[in-house]
Amino acid sequence: MKGVILAGGTGSRLYPLTKVTNKHLLPVYNKPMIYYPLETLARAGIKDILIISGKDHAGHFLNLLGSGRDFGVNLSFEVQDGASGIAHALSLAENFSGKESIAVILGDNIFEDDISKDIASFERQAGGARIFLKEVGDANRFGVAEIRGDAIIGIEEKPKDPKSNLAVTGLYMYDSDVFDIIRTISPSERGEYEITDVNNAYIKRGSLSYSLLRGDWTDAGTFESLFKANNIAREHHEKTNLNG
């Protein structure tokens, strides 16, 4: 399995912090934000990782991360010319994937969980996709999964009346069919190719599984969630050092 980190976008909700830099290069406690998704993939044993960013700050990622040797991985870089949505950014990873399955993580998501077992479980599946869910108190801010038995029957983006408290986090696993699926979807009302449409396509195929996260998780795309991310990173750092 290969890894893809999506680190594009304009970061408009964090302006003026993002006036001169990419959101994913902002500090979260003692590291640049991009370190956290990179370490999540590396900790799970993924060695080949593609970082997709916007053209304005692509060189900054290269200067910061280099070849990936310091993380024990091999890094590649791709540029997304415009902010056309998560699914569009992911489409740029088709040549990189080389028909292998991929783990995709949004560059502003902070995960405490070790996903090694989830990757091993997914690779035993006969293709399909897997998403990672987290119980939250403000599900209307996210894509929300509706569960029936052990199956996901639908995902609704930012619903006014959520059917569950299970938020779809920014971590996904896909087989190589994902690129064909992306080619079939249309832009949403906001003009973007939505990852929710991709996941719902897998639901229609009956091939979308899920994992429930146990540890802390947040995105870091707003001032409030960036503050939360700093607290999570600090607490995890202190816990790790105490146990180590």
Asked whether 173 and 198 are in contact (CB, 8 A), the reply is: no
Q: What is the pLDDT at residue 242?
A: 67
Q: The domain 2-243: what is its CATH number?
A: 3.90.550.10
Give the model's confidence band at 38: pLDDT under 50 very low, under 70 low, under 90 confident, else very high: very high
Reply yes or no on whether the pLDDT at 16 is more than 60. Answer: yes
What pTM, to 2 d.p., does this model score?
Answer: 0.94
pLDDT tens-place string over residues 173-188: 999 999 999 999 998 8
Amino acid symbol at 99: K
List the beta strands (DSSP E) in the chain: 2-7, 27-28, 31-32, 48-54, 74-80, 102-106, 109-111, 129-135, 143-148, 151-157, 166-174, 208-212, 217-219
Q: What is the pLDDT at residue 243?
A: 59
DSSP secondary structure of 155-175? EEES-SS-SSSEEEEEEEEE-
Reply yes or no on whether the pLDDT at 73 is more than 80. Answer: yes
pLDDT above 70 as % of the chain: 99
Amino acid symbol at 109: N
Helices vs strands, H then E, count in the chain: 8, 13
Q: What residue has token string 């070849």? A: 67
Reply yes or no on whether the pLDDT at 244 is more than 70. Answer: no
Q: Where are the domains of the chain?
A: 2-243
* Cis status of the peptide bond prior to 16, with omega within 30 of 0: yes
- Secondary structure letter of residue 23 according to DSSP: G
Asked whether 103 and 123 are in contact (CB, 8 A), the reply is: no
